[in-house]
Amino acid sequence: MVVGDFPIELDTLVVGAGPGGYVAAIRAAQTGQKVTIVDKGALGGVCLNVGCIPSKALIQAGHRYEEAHGASEMGISADNVSVDFSKVQEWKAGVVHKLTSGVEGLLKGNKVDIVKGEVYFVDQNTVRIMDEKNSQTYTFKDCIIATGSTPIEIPTFKFSDRILDSTGALGLKEIPEKLVVIGGGYVGTELGTAYANFGTEVTILEGADDILGGFEKQMSSLVKRNLKKKNVNIVTKAMAKSSEETDNGVKVTYEANGKEETVEADYVLVTVGRRPNTEEIGLEQVGIEMDERGLIKTDNQCRTNFDNIYAIGDIIAGPPLAHKASYEGKIAAEAIAGEKAEIDYNGIPAVVFSEPELATVGYTEQAAKDAGFDVRADKFPFAANGRALSLGSGDGFVQLVTRKDDGLVLGAQIAGTNASDMISELGLAIEAGMTAEDLALTIHAHPTLGEITMEAAEVAMGTPIHIVR
């Protein structure tokens, strides 16, 4: 590529190569567009490199280590179980490398041009892309912005060698003896659980009334109970006030129940949310409309106030979920191609890889009532399922939220083993407009966890087999 003062003309430009951007680029190419994708970082973005994938790898390693100690209730015990954490990190890095290499192959296989560098918007059809050595002007017909988000830094807890964001917590070279987690959302809960499974003494400080505030209390209470079994100290209504770093750790001062307390740890993990990456890339200069939080305003096709510029993922309204970004990327790419694709968020699930796992899709019972539906909510417990009991995982339930008059599935919540996998069937039910009867008539293999969904549907119909009404 020639670098110079003359603009290089592009068809469709995708800014950001995370799970939103690279998916958008591939779908745009599939519709016949000539696509260029640009990112200053590694392909795959936060999710593949320092987020979803490495965190789940670390969580799985923690599970394996915990399981290796045996299960006394099953008559299994083990001695001298050890962990080489450098090997854990090496294995985790290998998982990440396989996926990021795969993304590059997919982009090239779909004839998407890849450019490395930082983007600055000049006007509605022009960007400047800069790397360490060069700066080049590009013009584009259409653009999809997918620049993602960054962890929020608390002024009194500046990120350092001892005060970490999620990236730092995933890259530790040793298992800490003590860890303080500020923020009991899904990231803090997941990583706190992972390290607790490795034997770390974990303290979670949460400012709200409860951890995992986006989930119903009947779900989060199961997670809290299991965290306490792992000796995790959960302090709610706690305000982290200051930190004092030493050569060997950090002392955290916080306020809870009107009292000032301190706790010492090797590291502090700050997980209080993320901010959109919409600053200092020229969006204000172009005139792209944003809200007070820096989120770009879009329509139901992810289009901004400019007809040829789209935005997806963490930089627009909605939860910062990788699969939401991918979904929006497909919508934007298809909209550019002239297709009638539109956003429908009702079938997007949210998952926490806690113990037990939590998953929700569509309406909760209360949200459905608030929306004006006359609904019922029916549960079937994991404890009444043969496969769950054989796994030693009887905690949890599947709950269906259905419309009373016809049984239409409006939402579902799962707390239990493999909830992350089970929720997809219920997302499909919502997307396809299925009823509880449709789910109940679907023959599920025995013995499987999937049967719990069928049984919950039978409860909703008033004809349960394996529990007494």
Rg of the chain in Å (alpha carbons): 24
Structure tokens at 244: 């004092």
Boundary (domain end) residue, out of 311, 345, 379? 345
451: helix, coil or strand? helix
User: How far, in Å, are 314, 335, 337, 385, 457 from residue 12 at the CA level?
Assistant: 20, 12, 10, 51, 45
Report the domain count for the chain.
3
Point out which residues pair with 71 in neighbouring strands: 76
What percentage of the chain's residues is helix, strand, coil (to nearest 5)?
Answer: 35, 30, 40
Structure tokens at 107: 């982009």
Tell me: do 120 and 13 sit in the same domain: yes
Tell me: do 328 and 183 sit in the same domain: no
Boundary (domain end) residue, out of 345, 379, 397? 345
Tell me: do 175 and 97 sit in the same domain: no
Q: Is 149 labeled as ligand-binding?
A: yes
| Residue 468: inside a domain | no
Tell me: do 280 and 137 sit in the same domain: yes
Bond before 151 cis per omega within 30 degrees: no
Q: Which residue has 């172009």 as its token pair?
A: 286
Q: What are phi and psi of 465, to 5 degrees?
A: -95, -45
Q: Is 213 labeled as ligand-binding?
A: no
| Residue 156: inside a domain | no
Q: Is 86 labeled as ligand-binding?
A: no
By C-alpha distance, which of 95, 98, 133 is closest to 116? Answer: 133
CA dist 365 and 394 (Å) reads 23
122's CB contacts (< 8 A; 6+ apart) are 128, 137, 282, 285, 286
| Residue 229: inside a domain | yes
CA dist 58 and 66 (Å) reads 12
Q: Is 207 labeled as ligand-binding?
A: no
Tell me: do 27 and 127 sit in the same domain: yes
Q: Is 390 labeled as ligand-binding?
A: no
Tell me: do 441 and 336 sit in the same domain: no
Tell me: do 111 and 175 sit in the same domain: no
Tell me: do 289 and 141 sit in the same domain: yes
| Residue 469: inside a domain | no
Q: Is 188 labeled as ligand-binding?
A: yes
Cβ atoms < 10 Å from Cβ of 62:
24
Tell me: do 394 and 331 sit in the same domain: no
| Residue 350: inside a domain | no
Q: What pLDDT was estimated at residue 133?
A: 87
Helices H / strands E in the chain, number of each: 14, 24
Which CATH number belongs to the domain containing residue 395 in this structure?
3.30.390.30
Catalytic residue among 63, 323, 446, 466: 446
Amino acid at 137: T
Q: What pLDDT was estimated at residue 1?
A: 41
Tell me: do 208 and 294 sit in the same domain: no
By C-alpha distance, which of 158, 272, 257 is closest to 213? Answer: 272
| Residue 1: inside a domain | no
Q: Is 323 labeled as catalytic in the residue annotation?
A: no
Q: Is 187 labeled as ligand-binding?
A: yes
By C-alpha distance, which of 193, 159, 150 is closest to 56? Answer: 193
Amino acid at 448: T
Cβ atoms < 10 Å from Cβ of 467:
14
First to last CA, the chain: 70
Which CATH number belongs to the domain containing residue 126 in this structure?
3.50.50.60
Q: What pLDDT was estimated at residue 2?
A: 43
Tell me: do 106 and 93 sit in the same domain: yes
Residue ranges of the chain with per-residue pLDDT less than 50: 1-2
Q: Is 365 labeled as ligand-binding?
A: no
How far from chain centre, in Å, is Cα 368?
24
Amino acid at 106: L
Range of the domain at 454: 356-461
Tell me: do 266 and 281 sit in the same domain: no
Q: Is 148 labeled as ligand-binding?
A: yes
Boundary (domain end) residue, out of 257, 272, 287? 272
| Residue 452: inside a domain | yes
| Residue 2: inside a domain | no
Structure tokens at 240: 């982290």
CA dist 27 and 330 (Å) reads 6
By C-alpha distance, which of 121, 131, 135 is closest to 15? Answer: 121
